[in-house]
Structure 1
Amino acid sequence: MPPKRRMLTESLEQSEAHDAPQKPPPSFGGALSKFVFSTTGGSGGDSGSGRITRSSMRTVSTARVVATKLTKPAKTGVAATVAAAVAEPKDEDEDTTADIKTPKKKKKRRAPSVYAPPSTYAHLSPIPDALAPNLIVIFIGINPGLTSATTGHAFAAPSNLFYRLLHSSGCTPDRRVAPCEDQELPARYGLGHTNLVGRPSRDAGELSRAEMVASVAGLREKVGRWGPEAVCFVGKVVWETVVKEKTGRGVGKGWEWGWQEGEAVEGWGCRVFVVPSTSGLVAGYSWEFKRELWTVLGDWVQERRRVRGEEVALKTEEEFEGNLFFHKYSD
């Protein structure tokens, strides 16, 4: 072919190639098809054996990962964490219930008490006071609980902390007495007990305010008759009732536990100390707080014993062994 004609032919071919539509790049499906092996036909080799080899599976998996990275935007932060948790395969033997938190059962709160007339517990008798002249301290509760009324002894409920605090504070320094020994407190320790209201009930919520306020005058007269050096009100409700009967108002926001002063103390003829209720139903104060507060009173009681020249009358071995059974089953 002459040179001029050859050059013309080549120029024409290049022009046609330039004007022809360009083929699109191979799609992902097209690229992936290179790694897919036929499972039919042929003999010899992996492509004709009807099986997919480990190498081919790794290749396909790699291709899928690449495709995923190319087509899906990367997730960050919380979304990435959630996506990873969903995508991560679980072993068949893995316990998937470990991530499920079992909801805690909520304790049922006891319904608040309402006023119960005296006829409700008419079958129960008031417990006897433990009093004597010239005691160091008389402890004053609000009224007997059902366990105390049933047994005939003060603060007798197993959950009540009265005798435990009495011992830890030093009021009964030699040992922890049992509720059945409450009548021995005056002779052995110079301590006594009584209540604002004599009739028993499940708790203070079953007494009326008017009933409690009306009982203050009789309580004050009783304390004046026996003449202790101090009284200890066991429970804020008891002391607040006394304050309201005297002043017509409550204790106020600035009120504190322990030794009391002011108008409400007048007329008692002795010092006044106030501690939280020792009932097991009252859990608003820790054991440490109660023990520290009671220790203030206990230190004062022991100082008064030294000044008065009195010693704690210890129980004999026979008397103590007689109460071992009660100690075992009342703690």
Structure 2
Amino acid sequence: MPPKRKTLTESLEQSEAHEDAPQKPPPSFGGALSKFVFSTTTTAGGDGGSGRTTRSSTRTVSTARVVAARPKPAAKPAKPAAATATAAEKPKDEDTAAGSTKKKKKRRAPSVYAPPSTYAHLSPIPDALAPNLIVLFIGINPGLTSAATGHAFAAPTNLFYRLLHASGCTPDRRVAACEDQGLPGRYGLGHTNLVGRASRDAGELSRAEMVAGVAELREKVRRWGPEAVCFVGKVVWETVVREGTGRGVGKMWEWGWQEGAAAEGWRVGCRVFVVPSTSGLVAGYSWEFKRELWTVLGDWVQERRRVRGKVVALKTEEEE
């Protein structure tokens, strides 16, 4: 018997009833994975069984192992070669060019003997002497600036007058080079040189003229009778010692007061103190070292002033 056909009205009613029924949500990603389930069950038959083995395994695939494929990030554009160059990769020519702007300090060539005619246009400077000085300072010879101005230790870089004041030899003020002739009357200090002629430095003097100056220096000291002499520079003192003993000062020699064998070559009778050269060309000793050494002499000078009852006059308002 042929199936009964549904009328149009029945079809519409069934369609409306289907739409009114609650709809199931679409399966989730985890629900979709639940379909991939494999079960394994093993039943082993004994001697009395059929002898066939049926294996059924159940394996659940973990959602943690399922990784969605991610698109690869787009590659970054390469930087230009000039932008990636580091400071270490700079060409040496650039470093050389940058360093070429710094001026290298040139070493001064050692001086050689210059005959007296070289500086014949410069006159010797006068000594600052008086009877019974406390200290007579002895330099090796006048420099070019001193010869040009007529005053001892006159070069702007020379530390002589600065050390005189710092040590207490001139306690009231720093004396200017142009006042060097007033040192004996005001402070009981004087100055002279081993060699009278001027030169750029001691390297332009001959050994013969330095030795010849020793006898004249001894005679000058005997005549004026200072309590002590201060040799400004080891070269001056060693020249005196070598001329008197035939040997140098020795390896154990020290700056300051010279006692015993160190003063053997002097043969005059007054005390001897030795300090490094105050010239600006001599930079082997620090200012602190020179000041401390000079202070030993300055303390002795002030003590001798107290014994003599000599008061150093303070600077007046007119002199300011």
Fold-level similarity (TM above 0.5): yes
Tell me which amino acid in the other structure corresponds to 1:304: R
Query: Who is 1:174 aligned against?
Result: 172
Deviations 1:4-42, CA, capped at 9 Å, x for gaps: xxxxxxxxxxxxxxxxxxxxxxxxxxxxxxxxxxxxxxx
- Match among 40, 57, 78 for residue 75 of structure 2: 57
Query: Hey, what does 1:21 align to over in structure 2?
Result: none
How far, CA to CA, are the matches of 1:128 and 1:266 in structure 2?
24
SS at match of 2:117: helix
Partners of 2:172 and 2:315 within 8 A in 1: no
Question: What is the 5 A alignment of 1:92-107?
Answer: 100=95, 102-103=98-99, 105-107=103-105
Of 226, 229, 247, 1:228 maps to 226
1:196 to 172, 194, 197: 194
Shift of residue 55, structure 1, vs aligned partner: 2.0
TM-superposed CA distance for 1:314, in Å, is 2.7
Contact kept in structure 1, 2:134 and 2:226, CA below 8 Å: yes
Counterpart of 1:294 in structure 2 is 294
Cα distance, 1:300–1:112 mapped onto 2, change above 3 Å: same
Aligned equivalents of 1:198, 1:88: Cα separation in 2: 73
- Rounded Cα–Cα distance in structure 1 between residues aligned with 2:212 and 2:229: 19
Task: Trace 1:151-162 onto structure 2 (pairs within 5 A).
Answer: 151-162=149-160
Letter in 2 for 1:303: E
The Cα of 1:56 is off from its aligned counterpart by: 4.1
Give, in whole Å, the separation in 2 of the partners of 1:118 and 1:56: 87
- Deviations along 1:173-219, one digit per CA (max 9) or x if unpaired, are 00101000000000110000000000000100000111101110000
Matches within 5 A, 1:265-276: 266-276=266-276
Decide whether the 8 Å contact of 2:245 with 2:265 is kept in 1.
no
How many residue pairs match? The answer is 242
Give the Cα–Cα distance (whole angstroms) in 2 for the partners of residues 161 and 268 of structure 1.
28
Give yes or no for contact 1:240–1:251 (8 Å, CA) kept in 2.
Answer: yes
Q: Per the alignment, in what secondary structure is the counterpart of residue 215 of structure 1? A: helix
8 Å Cα contact 1:227/1:269 also seen in 2? no
Once the 2 structures are TM-superposed, how far is the Cα of residue 280 of structure 1 from its aligned partner? 0.1
- Partners of 1:154 and 1:90 in 2: how far apart? 63
Distance in 2 (alpha carbons) for counterparts of 1:171 and 1:109: 35
1:243-254 to 2 correspondence within 5 Å? 243-254=241-252
Which residue in the other structure is 1:212 paired with? 210
Match of 1:185 in 2: 183
Query: How far has the Cα of 1:106 moved from its partner?
Result: 2.9
Q: How far is 1:145 from its partner?
A: 0.2
Q: Residue in 2 aligned with 1:304?
A: 304
Q: Deviations over 1:129-160 (max 9, x none)?
A: 00000000000000000000000000000000
Q: Does the aligned pair in 2 maintain the 1:170–1:295 contact within 8 Å?
A: yes
Name the amino acid aligned to 1:274. Answer: V
Alpha-carbon distance in 2 for matches of 1:266, 1:290 = 24
Tell me which amino acid in the other structure corresponds to 1:260.
Answer: Q
Is the contact between residue 265 and residue 272 of structure 1 (CA under 8 Å) also seen in structure 2? Answer: no
The structure having more radius of gyration, on CA atoms, is 2
Q: Which AA in structure 1 matches 2:158?
A: N
Report how far residue 267 of structure 1 moved. 1.8
Is 2:299 the counterpart of 1:281? no
TM value normalised by structure 2: 0.70
Structure 2 CA distance for partners of 1:265 and 1:312, relative to 1, 3 Å = farther
- How many angstroms apart in 1 are the aligned matches of 2:110 and 2:289? 26
Contact 1:124 1:149 in 2 (8 A): yes
Q: Specify the SS of the correspondent of 1:233.
A: strand
Q: Residue 257 of structure 1 corresponds to which residue in structure 2?
A: 255
1:266 and 1:193 map into 2 onto residues whose CA distance is: 17
Structure ranking higher in helix proportion: 1
Superposition RMSD on alpha carbons, in Å? 2.7
Aligned equivalents of 2:219 and 2:125: distance in 1?
19
